[in-house]
Amino acid sequence: SSDLKDRNLSETTTMEEQSLLACFESSSSPHRPALLTPGKNPISPQASMLLPYQGGGGTNVTDLQKETKKLKPKAPVTLGSVGRKIGPRHIQLLAEDGEDLGTMHRATVIRLMDQTGPKLVAINDNCDPPLYRLMKGKQIHEEQMKLRDTQKAKKGPVQSKELNFSSDISLHDLDTKLRQVVIWLEKNNQVRLTEHELTRISVAVGFVSKPSVVRGGRAAMCVLRLASAKELQRKGAETSNKNLKPDSETPA
């Protein structure tokens, strides 16, 4: 009975190996994946787990990850060295100090770069011939910083803000308004500051010199005097007109 069991086990193993080989040959076909049919492929569950699925032209998880992987967009380069890859055959060349070197063949420009060491930067590709300039690395960096500052200054519309001050303002209110001014300025807004002082003087005054900005914009100055009779008469007429205006607009 022991020989009979060994013979049956050997036959079963041989059948499984033949069936497994047939499945691998079927799965290697480029037209269709391997299919396991219980009636035709009597393979044990352990053997069926070893079969790789190669349907759909051999696409696997790694390929799908490569296809669906999104590349991060790179920041556009507005100014930089073009290296030795000069597209136009002839270019208008400027020296490092801005001197016009005239129109040159690209091969001559490459030899000049090899001899002197600066880098070639495209200034204007739309003109004929295109305009290029020889620049050092430090010059390129400085120009890039200038362009960045210019682009920041152009972002968004500029808004105008206004704040009014008076001489009797408390320190807490003054600090609050000054912090608001800083916030507006950091957002690239324009701020107009108005200080009401002359309206608090008890006598009528005139100007020897109109208010003007001094000390680099940190202060405003004016020279006052007593108002003349003509100025008092004009001011009285303006006050009368303001008082009469609401009555004149009232319908009869």
Which DSSP string do the residues of 16-78 spell out, in sequence order?
HHHHHHHHHHHHT-SSS-----TTT----HHHHTTPPP-HHHH--HHHHHHHHPPPPPPPPPS
Which residue in the block uniquely carries the two structure tokens 């968004």?
Answer: 156
Query: Residue 77 has what pLDDT?
Result: 47
Quote the radius of gyration of the chain (alpha carbons, Å). 43
As its CATH architecture, domain 90-154 has: Roll (3.10)
Query: Residue 71 has what pLDDT?
Result: 46
Does pTM surpass 0.85? no
Query: Do 90-154 and 160-248 have matching folds?
Result: no
Query: Residue 232 has what pLDDT?
Result: 82
Query: Residue 252 has what pLDDT?
Result: 42
CATH number belonging to domain 160-248? 3.30.110
What is the rounded distance in angstroms from the CA atom of residue 89 to the CA atom of residue 128? Answer: 11
**Exposure on the CB side of residue 98, measured as CA atoms within 13 A:** 0
Query: Residue 53 has what pLDDT?
Result: 45
Domain boundaries, the chain: 2-55, 90-154, 160-248
Residues of the chain with pLDDT under 50: 31-59, 61, 64, 67-74, 76-77, 248-252
